[in-house]
Amino acid sequence: MAWVENDGVKSWREEVANATLVFGSRRRGQSVGSYASLNVGLGTGDHPASVASNRCRLSASVGVDPEKVVMARQVHADRIIEHEAPDPDTAWARGEVPDRDADGHMTKVAGLALAVITADCLPVAVVGKKGLGLVHCGWRGLAAGLAQKTAERVAGEIAVIGPGIGACCYEVGEDARSCFAEYPEAHADRHLDLASICRQQLLATGVQRVQSVDMCTYCEDEDFFSHRRDGEITGRQGTLAWLN
Ligand SMILES: [Zn+2]
């Protein structure tokens, strides 16, 4: 596991069993202003042409064909899509909003790259006997059991939690805290440790090893967008995961 840089695009790369996981940073994209610069999200008002260019730049920098990247519109729910072929609308490559909703993805097909976009929520990859899973989950997704459900679908053995907001910076309301009363070690005053909750949930489903990159999107502003830090008008970094 290490930062790798290709054509100026910096991402954190992990090789886990038969899968490759890439957690992208915000560096060296085409977007400007609040979206500077490698913004791969369309939901906050950036120019679609810039987003399309950034998505292709990220996938190209790690050797992935942008037409083989599959994604969905993220809605903080618990639906999982199993991908068997490239998206017909190739939304990633074309810089469009996908027409399907899902926050969890899985595949058994080598070379098909699952994608989620985040700015504080956790990107979590799970590699197992029945394939590869990738989820986007904030507290709502964790409360809905999305990471666990995805791990169960792929008979998860090893998981990696990517960059997300750390307990250092994540003060939440009673609505979020009350969902996780069974994880007392994930609470510190009003702060919540999403990665700790996710790790415990995954271990409980039988995942044997849960790694974390231990990077806080709020603290590390040079590398990551953060919704909490920057407000509504900011970008999203991309995570790509595929079976080799
Ligand atoms: Zn922090």
Vertex 79 angle, CA 78 and 83, to 5° = 140
**Residue 119 Cα, ligand 1 centroid: separation in angstroms?**
13
Helical (H) or strand (E) element with 55? helix 48-61
Distance 92 CA to ligand 1 centre (A): 29
Lookup result for tokens 């064909």: 65
- For ligand 1, the distance from its centroid to the CA atom of residue 99, given in whole angstroms, is 33
Rounded mean pLDDT, 34-49: 97
What's the whole-number mean pLDDT along residues 149-162? 98
- Radius of gyration, alpha carbons of the chain: 16
- For residue range 212-243, what is the model confidence (pLDDT) as tens digits? 999 999 999 999 999 999 999 999 999 999 99
Nearest alpha-carbon partner for 77 in 145, 127, 24, 31: 145
The model's pLDDT over 180-211, given as tens digits with 9 standing for 90+, comes to 999 999 999 999 999 999 999 999 999 999 99
Asked if pLDDT for residue 1 goes beyond 90, the answer is: no
Residue 170 C-alpha to ligand 1 middle, in angstroms?
A: 7
Mean pLDDT for the stretch of residues 5-16: 95
- Asked if the peptide bond before residue 37 counts as cis, ω within 30 degrees of 0, the response is yes
Tell me, in angstroms, the distance from the centre of ligand 1 to residue 165's CA: 6
| Model confidence, pTM | 0.98
Query: What percent of the chain has pLDDT above 90?
Result: 98
Give tens-digit pLDDT for 20-33: 999 999 999 999 99
Taking the centre of ligand 1 as the mean of its atom positions, its distance from the CA of residue 120, in whole angstroms, is: 10
Q: Look at residue 7 in the predicted model and tell me its pLDDT.
A: 87
- Rounded to the nearest whole angstrom, what is the distance from the C-alpha of residue 224 to the centroid of ligand 1? 11
Maximum pairwise Cα distance, the chain: 47
Output the CA 192–ligand 1 centroid distance in Å: 11
In the chain the domains, ranked by start, together with CATH numbers, are 13-243 (3.60.140.10)
pLDDT in tens, 67-89: 999 999 999 999 999 999 999 88
